[in-house]
Amino acid sequence: MDDTERLNVSGTHHPLLALGPGARLGIWVQGCGLACPGCMSRHTWDPAGGTRVPVADLLALWQRALEQGASGLTVSGGEPCDQPAGLRALLQGADELRRAPTARPAPDGGAPDLLVYTGYEEHELSDGRRAALGPADAVVTGRFRVAEPTDLVWRGSANQRLTPRTELGRSRYAPHLTRVRSPRDVGLQVEVDRRALDGTWPLRLYGIPRRGDLAAWEREGARRGLPVSMPSWRP
């Protein structure tokens, strides 16, 4: 495992319930040049933002999540494949830790899985980017296209493909490839960032909103006298 690498990171969260099966560790990288119109995560675009985190620190989070029975790791962004060395080190290290004899299985009895979101289409993945995906069990590929809404679980637009890459990925994700979101799925997970000390209530939204959800949020906030300021989905 190469844990001397760093990854420019926008944020992390555990337990993440809205991007992949079960309760997961989520890692969002910083930097994306694909600029999809309608992207809800514009705050992750600037490659000069974020925090350069040693992969070893991210793996410590993964180790803790495994000890707490995490079902898997989801890496999103930002664009993970634009940091191929860091992504590769992260996934290789995460793979080794989940295989350790002391590692706990996921709640379904299988190993915790590794899921990566990339805005690149499958055919756009260069050899280097493909190699960076390393032991990822499943990958969601494709730009977010605001004009192509979908109810497919864990995808933001109908063009995006969920592709298993390993035996574990095939067994765990097969039931979800064409499954549409049900009321039991967590579509959008809302967390309050309690570190704010200035009287504001920074909200972090994890997952994939349905079309109109974010505008409805803003309307409801305004109606209650709690206007949403600086949303990450506005220029």
The span from the CA of 118 to the CA of 29, in Å, is 11
Q: Which of 62, 144, 154, 173 binds ligand SF4 (CB under 6 A)?
A: 144
Q: How far is the CB of 101 from ligand SF4 (least distance, A)?
A: 37
User: Between 102 and 131, how does the x/- string for binding to ligand SF4 read (CB under 6 A)?
Assistant: -----------------x------------
Peptide bond into 231 cis (omega under 30): no
Position among 9, 19, 32, 81 found at the interface with ligand SF4 (CB under 6 A): 32
Residue among 12, 22, 34, 232 that touches ligand SF4 (CB under 6 A)? 34
For position 31 contacting ligand SF4 by CB under 6 A, the verdict is no
- Cα–Cα distance, 74 to 128 (Å, whole number): 20
One residue of 13, 24, 98, 143 binding ligand SF4 per CB under 6 A: 143
The residue within the footprint of ligand SF4, chosen from 72, 77, 134, 135 (CB under 6 A), is 77
Which x/- pattern, by CB under 6 A, does the window 36-55 give for ligand SF4? x--x-x--x-----------
Taking CB atoms, the residue at the shortest distance from ligand SF4 is 119
Q: Tell me the β-bridge partners of 6.
A: 54
Determine if 173 is a binding residue for ligand SF4 (CB under 6 A). Answer: no
Contact residues for ligand SF4, defined by CB under 6 A: 32, 34-36, 39, 41, 44, 77-79, 119, 143-144
